[in-house]
Structure formats: C-alpha cells, structure tokens
C-alpha cells in the first residue's frame, strides 16, 4: 500500500473515510456535501502536502486520476487528481452525482457554467448545447467547494507554474461523464460521452 492509500488507524485518509461514512448518512445532498466538505478541509490540513510528494507526475495535457478509496457499499469514492502546469478539463458534468472538491497542493482555477440553451433532444452524444460562463474562482490549499446537479457544469484548469493536487469525493463511482467540446463560434458546444479511468497507481 502506497502512502497515498494509507488507511491505517490514525492516518489522515482513515480519518477522512470515517468522516465520510458518517456524512453520507444525511438525508439530502446539501447536508451530505456540507459534511464531506468539512472532512476534506480537515484532511487537507492533516495531509500537509503528502499527496503531492507521493503521486506520480503526468505529461502532455493529460491530468492524473488516482483512486484513493472506494466505499464498500458504493456510496462514494475518493479520487485524487494531479494537474501539471497547463493541464485542465473541457466543460463537463458529473453524470448526475454530487461531488465535493478540495485543493491539497498548489492552486487551480474553477470556472462554472450555466447550460442556457439546447439544440436537439435526448441529451446524448452530438447534442448541441449553449453555455454561459457563470463564475470563476481561484482556489488554494484547503479550499473546497461542492457541485450538485443540475449545477455541476464546470472546467478545472491549472494555469500556474507549480503542480496542483485536488481531492474529489463523488456520490458513487464516476466511470463516465459528458464533456462539451467547441462546436463553432461563440458559446456553442457538442456533447460527447467520455469514459473515465484511473492512472496506473490507482
């Protein structure tokens, strides 16, 4: 077991898992996310850059995606992501799952979008969507935020010189999502389903 996956008693990850086990028993997504957010903020303080030291580097435009814990009951997963300078995502959703994200090292920029207009029906691949930029936030170590569908369309990007590490807790296991790729001028995008996998260490 690597240091990133250390769930021995007293480890930061074990404490986070215990917190999440309690949080996911709440009766609504807002309450669950509030409990998860508090746990992630404590984890960031306890980890003190540990994940940044042990998770591998990535290259090109592909960020790293590392499974830290899968709840045996399927209620949530904990995933660490590594973002080298210049790496990021397209606009994407979370496949109907709530998510809480926290910065463990470095800084990231999160841009959220409102889905303002849809051309075509069905919500599948090839559908054309219009997005309006809603907000942009630069987040540093220990800062966390939640995304609850249908308000989950966003981009994560690391425009800074230093690597960033984030930890994401999903309300299940996110094996795929919809990404939205530019489909012409302005705010028009084309939907595409993308299967997700973990990096080799996950």
Q: Could you give the 3-state DSSP secondary structure of residue 44? A: helix
Q: How far apart are CA 182 and CA 190, in angstroms?
A: 6
Burial class (CB in 10 A: 0-12, 13-18, 19+), 170: buried
Computed over every residue of the chain, the mean pLDDT equals: 92
Region 52-74: what's the mean pLDDT? 93
Q: Indicate yes or no: pTM above 0.85.
A: yes
The region of weakest confidence among 35-49, 70-84, 100-114, 181-195 is 181-195
Do the Cβ atoms of 177 and 84 come closer than 8 Å?
Answer: no
**Residues ≥6 apart with Cβ < 8 Å to 139:** 103, 107, 108, 109, 110, 145
Question: What domains does the chain contain, in order, with CATH numbers?
Answer: 3-195 (2.60.120.10)
Q: Give the model confidence (pLDDT) of 87-116 as tens digits.
A: 999 999 999 999 999 999 999 999 999 998
103 backbone dihedrals φ, ψ, rounded to 5°: -85, 125
The helix, strand and coil proportions of the chain, stated in percent and rounded to the nearest 5, come to 20, 40, 40
Instruction: Quote the percentage of the chain above a pLDDT of 70.
Output: 94
Per-residue pLDDT of 32-50, as tens digits, reads 999 999 999 999 999 988 9
Cβ neighbours, 10 Å, residue 120? 11
């Amino acid at each position: 077991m690597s240091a990133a996956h250390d769930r021995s008693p007293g480890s930061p990850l074990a404490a986070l898992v215990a917190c999440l086990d309690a949080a996911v028993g709440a009766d609504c997504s807002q309450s669950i996310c509030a409990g998860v957010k508090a746990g992630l903020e404590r984890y960031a303080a306890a980890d003190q850059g540990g994940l940044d030291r042990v998770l591998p580097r990535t290259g090109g435009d592909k960020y790293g995606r590392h499974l830290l814990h899968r709840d045996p009951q399927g209620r949530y997963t904990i995933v660490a992501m590594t973002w080298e300078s210049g790496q990021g995502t397209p606009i994407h959703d979370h496949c109907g799952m709530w998510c809480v994200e926290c910065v463990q090292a470095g800084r990231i920029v999160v841009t959220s979008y409102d889905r303002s207009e849809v051309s075509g029906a069905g919500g599948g691949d090839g559908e054309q969507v219009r997005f309006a930029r809603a907000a942009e936030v630069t987040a540093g170590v220990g800062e966390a935020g939640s995304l609850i569908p249908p308000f989950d369309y966003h981009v994560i990007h690391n425009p800074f010189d230093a690597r960033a590490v984030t930890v994401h807790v999903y309300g299940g296991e996110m094996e795929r999502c919809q990404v939205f790729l530019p489909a012409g001028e302005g705010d028009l995008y084309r939907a595409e389903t993308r299967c997700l996998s973990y990096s080799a260490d996950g």
